Amino acid sequence: MTAPHCILEVKVSPNAPRSEIIGWLGEALKVRIKAPPVEGRANAALCELLAQKLALPRRAVTVITGETASRKRVRIEGLDLATVRQRCNGGGPTLNA
């Protein structure tokens, strides 16, 4: 049996005043990241923030597509999508698209 995992769509805004999860924009999680989008720093900060919020080790969170784009796909090892949605802002507010 394979461990649970999911692919999470994320909309990232780098260079923010602080790193925080904003809420759900349709199926995508909207996140602000304090780090600049230089040399992978914003991606690393995104993975750190998600790992912390989801109570997972950092190695369980990986950007798989969109490394240089604001829209990314992130693989989360160890949790299904329903659990991820619940842990990110308690299911998160749904933002208007």
Res. 92: pLDDT tops 70: no
Which of residues 92 and 6 earns the better pLDDT score? 6
Q: Stretch 48-62: mean pLDDT, rounded?
A: 96
Give domain limits for the chain. Answer: 5-79
- Band (97; pLDDT cuts 50, 70, 90): very low
pLDDT in tens, 12-37: 999 999 999 999 988 999 999 999 99
The topology under which CATH files domain 5-79 is: Conserved Hypothetical Protein Mth637; Chain: A; (3.30.1200)
Q: Which amino acid is at 29?
A: L
pTM for the predicted model, two decimal places = 0.89
Q: Identify whether the C-beta of residue 63 lies closer than 8 Å to the C-beta of residue 57.
A: no
